[in-house]
Amino acid sequence: MGQRILVAGIVALEMTYRIDAFPLQYDPVRYPFFSLGSSVSGGAYNVARALSTLGDEVRCATLLGRDAAGGLVRQTFVQEGLSPDFALESLTDTPHALILYDREGRRQIHIDLKDIQEQAYPEEQFVQALQGCTLAAVGNANFCRPLIRLAREAGVPIATDVQTVSHLEDPYNQEFMRAADILFMSHERLPVAPTEWVHQVRERYGNGIIVVGLGEEGALLSVRGEPAPHHVPALRGLPVVSTVGAGDALFSCFLHAYAQSREPLQALRRAVAFAAFKIGTAAGASGFLTEAELEQLVQDSGGARP
């Protein structure tokens, strides 16, 4: 049975464009038939939709623009069975993202946040959204900073994904790193080996669970009280179209599985499989398996073995 989970963070209108290779060769005009797509995405939406597909009840606290894009986002929420009640149209313009990806699955993300980093989310509405939630997945947007305290005061555990970090005392992310009961991040810019990094993070912040996404190498898990981290290898053999949204998929599926089982290693094995299937699609919020489909994939791959 699914959990009620609150997701807070950025939702954007996303355009994807498949290119031949990086760097992109200059041409004054190109006609890349069936190579461009547009959809609703952004970290909060990707996580919310993944959790909803897996069977959880999701509330998504975000800020949208009073523009056509914002209306499209709210319409998409309704179509996908997500409540738009906490998606507030308080911006002039909705954030936009452009993602280039090549035939090898590599991606380059360009995101225009508009003025969302200077805005605030109403605290009373966030407190309302927290009611009955067993977990708060809080993104690292500026408007989420005051919301950390509200989740703490409500006794709701906090999970956050700070994505690419390169400093233990990262001035932008350290507030989120300190607050997280469950902390996710990418290996892409780490200054040391991932095993050493999780040791340093644990010594500095003491999070209950730390996960480092390792891309094609899988993921690394550190659990408080356990002497060494666990490496979960990537699931091989599935098609790769674009790696955009892979980290969001890993994060969301882990939260779903861990909320049910309280077994972090088994949860991460399922999350690695979920993310491996997701990257067979181009858009950040596409390619999500249902729980039944995920269980079948895990069984077929042997990924649930202890």
Average pLDDT over residues 139-159: 97
Task: Please check the confidence at residue 306 and state whether its pLDDT lies above 50.
Answer: no
What's the mean pLDDT in 279-298? 92
Each residue's pLDDT tens digit, 179-192: 999 999 999 999 99
Asked whether residue 305 carries a pLDDT value surpassing 60, the answer given is no
Q: What percent of the chain has pLDDT over 70?
A: 98
For the record, the structure tokens of 9 come out as 């963070």
Q: Is the model's pTM score more than 0.85?
A: yes
- In this structure, the strands spanning 107-112 and 182-186 are unpaired
* Kind of pairing between the strands at 158-164 and 182-186: parallel
User: What confidence tens digit (pLDDT) does each residue in 55-65 have?
Assistant: 999 999 999 99
206: left (phi over 0), alpha (psi -120 to 50) or beta: left
Closest CA to 130 of 161, 149, 148, 156: 156
State residue 17's pLDDT score.
Answer: 93
Question: Which helix (DSSP H) or strand (DSSP E) does residue 48 occupy?
Answer: helix 43-53
Which helix (DSSP H) or strand (DSSP E) does residue 127 occupy?
Answer: helix 123-130
Angle CA(218)–CA(275)–CA(177) in degrees, nearest 5? 70
Which pLDDT value is given to residue 234? 93
pLDDT by residue (tens digit) across 293-303? 999 999 888 75
**Tens-digit pLDDT profile for residues 202-219:** 999 999 999 999 999 999
User: What mean pLDDT do residues 147-168 have?
Assistant: 96
pLDDT band, very low/low/confident/very high, at 1 (cuts 50, 70, 90): low
Average pLDDT, the chain: 94
H-helix or E-strand spanning residue 117: none
Residue 242: its pLDDT value, please? 86
For domain 4-22+35-301, the CATH class is alpha beta
Q: Which pLDDT score is estimated for 173?
A: 97
Residue ranges covered by each domain of the chain: 4-22+35-301
| Residue among 269, 294, 259, 256 at smallest CA distance from 47 | 256
195 — pLDDT class (breaks 50, 70, 90): very high
Q: Which tens digit of pLDDT belongs to each residue from 92-110?
A: 999 999 999 898 888 898 9
